[in-house]
Amino acid sequence: MNNRYVAIGMAVLAALVFCSCNDPGTSRESNPTDAGVDRLGTSASPAPGITLRDAAGRRVDLPKPPQRIVAIGNGPYMILHLLYMFDETRKLLVGYEDRKKSSAFLPCVDPDISAKKVLQAYPGPEQVAALRPDLVIMKGTMEDQMGRSLSLLGIRTLYLGMETPEQFLRDVDNVGIVLGNRERARKIRGFYTARLNRLEERLKGVPDNRRPRCLTVLYTSRGGKRAIQVPAASWMQTIQMQRAGGKPVWIDAVRMTDGWTVVNFEQVAAWDPDKIFVIFWHALDPKEVMASLRKDPQWGRLRAVRTGEIHAFPGDVFGWDSPEPRWILGMTWLASKIRGQRSGDFSLRDEVHAFFGTLYNMDERKIDAVIMPSLRAFTEDPHA
Residues 130-162: tens digit of each pLDDT = 999 999 999 999 999 999 999 999 999 999 999
Q: What is the pLDDT of residues 283-300, one digit of tens each?
A: 788 899 999 999 999 999
What value does the CA radius of gyration of the chain take, rounded to a whole number of Å? 22
Amino acid identity for residue 99 in this structure = R
Q: What separation in angstroms does the CA of 113 have from each of 66, 96, 150, 208?
A: 19, 10, 25, 47
Decide: residue 64, CB within 10 A, 0-12 exposed, 13-18 middle, 19+ buried.
exposed
Domains of the chain and CATH, by start: 2-194 (3.40.50.1980), 208-342 (3.40.50.1980)
Please state, in angstroms and rounded to a whole number, the distance separating the CA atoms of residues 330 and 341: 18
Please state, in angstroms and rounded to a whole number, the distance separating the CA atoms of residues 272 and 307: 12
pLDDT of 99 reads 83
Q: What is the pLDDT of residues 69-121, one digit of tens each?
A: 999 999 899 999 999 999 999 999 999 999 876 567 999 999 999 999 999 99
**Which sign, positive or negative, has the C-alpha torsion 372, 377, 383, 384?**
negative
pLDDT of 224 reads 78
Assign 3-state DSSP to the chain and report helix, strand, coil percentages, each to 5.
Answer: 45, 15, 40
Please state, in angstroms and rounded to a whole number, the distance separating the CA atoms of residues 216 and 209: 18
Strands 261-263 and 275-280: unpaired
pLDDT of 4 reads 44
> Is the pLDDT higher at 260 or at 100?
260
- Spatial neighbors of 12 by CB under 8 A, at least 6 apart, are 126, 129, 152, 153
Pair 293, 308: CB distance under 8 Å: no
Pair 177, 52: CB distance under 8 Å: yes
Largest Cα separation within the chain, whole Å, is: 70
Rounded mean pLDDT of the chain? 86
Residue 278: strand pairing partners: 217, 312
Q: Model pTM? A: 0.86
Q: What separation in angstroms does the CA of 288 have from each of 284, 292, 293, 312, 345?
A: 8, 6, 9, 11, 29
pLDDT at 32 exceeding the cut of 50:
no
Q: What are phi and psi of 354, to 5 degrees?
A: -65, -40
Please state, in angstroms and rounded to a whole number, the distance separating the CA atoms of residues 267 and 224: 21
Q: What is the pLDDT of residues 230-255, one digit of tens each?
A: 999 999 999 999 999 999 999 987 77
Q: What is the pLDDT of residues 338-382, one digit of tens each?
A: 987 554 578 999 999 999 999 999 999 999 999 999 897 777 664
Decide: residue 345, CB within 10 A, 0-12 exposed, 13-18 middle, 19+ buried.
exposed
Please state, in angstroms and rounded to a whole number, the distance separating the CA atoms of residues 128 and 96: 9
Please state, in angstroms and rounded to a whole number, the distance separating the CA atoms of residues 309 and 339: 12
Pair 260, 232: CB distance under 8 Å: yes
Q: What is the mean pLDDT of residues 312-338?
A: 94
> Is the pLDDT higher at 299 or at 383?
299
pLDDT at 196 exceeding the cut of 50:
yes
Q: Where are the alpha helices (DSSP H) in the chain?
A: 2-16, 76-83, 89-92, 106-109, 125-129, 145-152, 165-178, 182-203, 236-244, 265-271, 286-295, 303-306, 327-339, 348-360, 364-366, 372-376
> Is the pLDDT higher at 143 or at 8?
143
Q: What is the mean pLDDT of residues 154-172?
A: 97
Pair 96, 119: CB distance under 8 Å: yes
Say what percent of the chain tops pLDDT 90.
71
Say what percent of the chain tops pLDDT 70.
84
- Banded pLDDT at 199 (limits 50, 70, 90): very high
Q: What are phi and psi of 324, to 5 degrees?
A: -135, 175
